[in-house]
Copies of this chain bind each other. A is one copy, B any other.
């Protein structure tokens, strides 16, 4: 029958956390505030079991969250989802906007990564007592930092 619980594809909270990048407490928290709807439980143990549909939903939320979406934004998304194809244009716009935000974030992070690597190089030069490499490293870091200004 439909809605049966015999498929072993359901995820434990640990697996769900690994896939989504949310921590286990966060998953419990999201459930508590109503973002995940009803999450099934294993009959005997009472442990959570994430079915494929719920897992997809959690993964979508994780991507939106990465793009900086707040909990209330996620609720709005879930409302759109419930409206199905009649909200297709809104869905498209929502994903497009979040994608742009995330792309911009990633650019900023790449700069910061360059900074961290530059600083690692700088201290490495100091450890090695290589004053030439140190000068070059300082130049590099300075060049990166100037890009923060914009």
Contacts and interface: CB of A to CB of B under 8 A. Distances in A.
Interface of A: 19-21, 56, 59-60, 62-64, 66-67, 85, 88-89, 91-92, 95-96, 98-99, 102-103, 105-106, 108-110, 112-113, 115-117, 119-120, 123-124, 126-127, 145, 148-149
Contacts of A95: 116-117, 119-120, 123
The main secondary structure of chain A at its interface with chain B is: helix
A85 B120 CA distance: 13
State the number of copies, please: 2
A129 to B, nearest CB: 9
B89 A117 contact: no
Nearest to A20: B148
